[in-house]
Chain A
Amino acid sequence: MTQDQWTTVADVASAVCLLGGAFLAFAAGVGVLRFPDLLARMHAGTKPQVLGLALVLIGLALRLRSGGAVWALVLVAVFQMLTAPVAAHMVGRAGYRTGKVRSDLLVVDELTNDQELAQVRDQGRPDDDDPRD
């Protein structure tokens, strides 16, 4: 194929990736508005944070096609993949501890079970610290 055809292919692939990323951002907006509790909203919110961002960055890289900028985009993607789980963990834990999680919507709730077991096990010992810590 000639250079022109390769350029067209890259542009079309870029457009598809950008559309996918934009659709995930839209889906996150719908999900965060309609879902019933904190964990479900977090689930909707993480779609564009990793997959959507990766798609958009691939789309941007296919359009820019220059070495230095593409490495910076890889940096953005890696950084987002490192930080998104940390932020989600903090928000989820804070939500659980402040009672924002609706346990009637959960299929499996291992943390509550473990906490109850730990409390039963600790009975008889002096209650020296908060069992939730």
Chain B
Amino acid sequence: MTAVIWVCGILITVGAVLAVIRAEKGPSMLDRTVALDIVVTAMIVAVALYGAVERRTDVVPVLVVLSLVGFVGSVTIARFASVEPEGEGRVRTREEIAAQEAERMDAEDEAEGTRRTDRREGFDEHHGGGAEGEVRG
């Protein structure tokens, strides 16, 4: 039995590590989802193995919870998957992040500036107004 436990443990661990490598490389969000699903399944198998070794019945609720969590995670990510622009999966360098931040700040400043001049020039901002279908005398 001890040899069986060791072999099972090593197989599960190697499988989970390979899946984590795929989650790190994974060119898209969905590849990572699939890889992390396998990690969760490996966790379920490992917990079940532990329960079998120690003859513990109290790990069974953990199995129920783990199978629930894996499902919710992958469905949520799949629901919000969208077309990623080229190079989205890549980790950006510090300079690229700084450049993007500067660009965003400039755009915000500009928007703020135009809003101020609009107000100064007397653009009428409508906040609410008369009731819909109001009868005026």
Contact = CB atoms under 8 A, between A and B. Distances in A.
B42 A15 contact: no
Q: How large is the interface on A (under 10, 10 to 19, 20 to 34, 35 or more residues)?
A: 35 or more
A11 B1 contact: yes
Interface stretch (B72-80, B93-101, B124-132): B72-80
Chain B interface size, under 10 / 10 to 19 / 20 to 34 / 35 or more: 35 or more
Nearest to B58: A69
Contacts of B48: 18, 21, 56-57, 59-60
Given A28-B19, A60-B52, A98 B84 contact: yes
- Dominant secondary structure of chain B at its interface with chain A: helix
Given A22-B49, A32-B35, A45-B37, A72 B61 contact: yes
Chain A CB within 10 A, most for which of B12, B18, B48: B48
A66 interface: yes
Contacts of A14: 52
Contacts of A18: 4, 8, 48-49, 52
Given A22-B12, A59-B48, A73-B60, 19 more contacts: A15-B4, A21-B8, A22-B8, A25-B12, A38-B28, A45-B37, A48-B41, A49-B41, A53-B41, A68-B57, A69-B57, A69-B60, A75-B64, A76-B60, A76-B63, A83-B67, A87-B75, A98-B28, A100-B28
